[in-house]
């Protein structure tokens, strides 16, 4: 059974996709950009603040679906510049300190809305 997850505390989708979909005890969260849901745009200008906003958005969706960061099994991190890896990683390790999820991280040519970071998340119960 498939369940669509939508949190008012995370940014609305900027295209034809869902914030998250749960299927068979697994939650698939679409890539989260550093959009502040209160204003509907990216306000932060540095990698640390943008990554914090991404994690706030992920947290809102996890919470809406009844999951926590402890349930996360896989993250995929997209960076507009690999030089931002260290700054992103400093924030990332605040959320995952033990039993960390599997992760891929790589640079892409550009991200929507000129974001510096986007993170996809998969969680399972």
Burial of 96 (0-12, 13-18, 19+ CB in 10 A): middle
Q: Could you give the percent of the chain with pLDDT greater than 70?
A: 100
Q: How confident is the model at residue 88, as a pLDDT?
A: 98
Alpha-carbon Rg for the chain, nearest whole angstrom, is 13
How much is the pLDDT for 65? 98
pLDDT score recorded for residue 17: 96
pLDDT-based confidence at residue 112 (cuts at 50, 70, 90): very high
Mean pLDDT of the residues in the chain: 97
| Domain coordinates in residue numbering, the chain | 2-124
The reply to whether CATH 3.30.230.10 applies to domain 2-124 is no
Question: What is the SS3 assignment for 23?
Answer: strand
Task: State the pLDDT confidence band at 23, using cuts at 50, 70 and 90.
Answer: very high
Q: How confident is the model at residue 25 (pLDDT cuts 50, 70, 90)?
A: very high
pLDDT in tens, 69-96: 999 999 999 999 999 999 999 999 999 9
């Amino acid at each position: 059974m498939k369940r669509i997850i939508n949190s008012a505390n995370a940014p609305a989708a900027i295209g034809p996709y869902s914030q998250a979909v749960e299927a068979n005890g697994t939650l698939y969260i679409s890539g989260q950009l550093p959009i502040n849901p209160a204003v509907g745009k990216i306000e932060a200008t540095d990698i640390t603040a943008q990554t914090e906003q991404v994690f706030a958005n992920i947290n809102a969706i996890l919470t809406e679906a009844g999951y926590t960061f402890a349930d996360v099994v896989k993250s995929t991190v997209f960076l507009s510049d690999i030089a931002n890896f260290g700054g992103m990683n400093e924030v990332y390790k605040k959320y995952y300190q033990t039993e960390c999820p599997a992760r891929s991280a790589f640079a892409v040519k550009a991200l929507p809305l000129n974001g510096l970071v986007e993170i996809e998340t998969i969680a399972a119960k």
